[in-house]
Amino acid sequence: MSVRSLNWVKFGGLVGLAFVLGLLFAGLLDLPKSSVAQARLTQATPAAARVQTPMLASARPLADLSEAFADVAEHVRASVVYVRSQRTERSGQRRLPPGFEDFFFGNPRNGRQPQIERGSGSGFIVSSDGYILTNNHVVDGADQVMVRLPDRHEYTAKVVGTDATTDVAVIKIDAKGLTPAALGSSASVRIGEWVLAIGTPLNENLSFTVTSGIVSAKGRGQLSLPGRTERSIQDFIQTDAAINPGNSGGPLVDVRGEVIGINSAIASQTGYNVGYAFAIPIDLAKQVMNQLITKGRVERAALGVLVQDATPADAKYVGLDEIRGVRVDNFPQDGSPAKTAGIQQGDVIIAVDGQPVEYVAQLQQLVGFRKPGDVVKVEVARKGGVRKTYNVHLIAASEPRETKKGTDGREDNHEDSEKGTNLERIGLTVIPLTQQMIT
């Protein structure tokens, strides 16, 4: 072997020895076997460990309530509908003195088209063959009513009947196999019970909106609500469930899935929900509904009295231990059956046919849905603690006049009289010229 070859062998041996010693030294120092970059590329991220659901016994009732709300909403969903109405302005609604029409409205022959008023609300199915309950103010005076079901099918609806006194209306669509809502009893509802308000608030993009709350109060009346008549029956269920324009006519449902009221009105300075909403009791709505379906209108009976809720002074005057009942203020007509039977001004009506009367709306319902000619036993409390019971023959109630509040807060009774004609759209009030005004 040449000297040159021997040197290469020695060099290779030294390199190998250095490599072995390097490995041994690295093992002794416990150096990483790969770079940081290599570790980031090759190291797998461990899966997140699943945390066990906490078993909180105290939260179980809340979970049950949440599930109940969801079940109720799912159960009622197939019964709640969206209602859209349309009304064409009629020349008779302008109520201007003769000769003023062209000045204010223009001549129809010159191209002015009648205005179209559109509205929307909610409703709920009450029979499998297409009867639907809603509010009177949703469809009142409508030329066309459309109903959209939860499955998005749309139908033209017929207005079966309306009742301004209770703000209840019945409409019908030509459909079969629908899912009616279960109607409960508003009489058994207790203040503080949980309820759900369902409908289409604000616009149709918010169809089937569900809000929750409680029954805040019952028997709410004497509310300044537009569109009510002089004989309006105001016996509302109050709730703090959020109700907004468009919810009108939708159901107020309890946690058993039964309808206990028809969402009808809100008390608000802004026009939107502020926590005070009102629903028509379903017991009252059912009485109206049955007559509208069978007769197309509501026939009511009357005692022939003008009344108001009893005051503390009234209770003391007639010797009542508690403040309740309805005070007789006057008799609106000659031959009033109540007056003929012996009832006097200042008497406080405390019961009808043995059923206690607490406030005006109760008396309206106990009497109004009887038949003209029926005889009812009216118990009154009189000055000095006297108690009397009279048999009163009911008469047919006259048709109420509708009163609406104008933009200035005054009432417009839709009659041309010395009170004037209020034209909200143009901001003008006109009245007949009288001799006193001339002089």
**Number of DSSP helices (H) and strands (E) in the chain, helices first:** 10, 25
Sign of the alpha-carbon torsion through 316, 319, 322, 324: negative
Confirm if 209 and 125 have CB atoms less than 8 A apart: no
| Residue 248 designated active-site | yes
The residue type found at 240 is: D
Strands 182-183 and 258-266: parallel
10 Å CB burial of residue 141 (0-12, 13-18, 19+) is middle
| Residue 167 designated active-site | yes
Look at residues 217, 87, 259, 215 and name the one whose alpha carbon lies nearest to residue 162: 87
Task: List, in sequence order, every residue forming a beta bridge with 405; answer none if it has no partner.
Answer: 411
Q: What is the largest CA-CA distance in the chain?
A: 152
Marked catalytic residue, from 85, 120, 167, 283 = 167
Confirm if 403 and 228 have CB atoms less than 8 A apart: yes
Angle at 141 between CA 137 and CA 145, to 5 degrees: 80
Helices (H), 56-211: 60-76, 101-105, 136-139
Marked catalytic residue, from 120, 137, 254, 412 = 137
Marked catalytic residue, from 122, 212, 216, 248 = 248
List the catalytic residues. 137, 167, 248
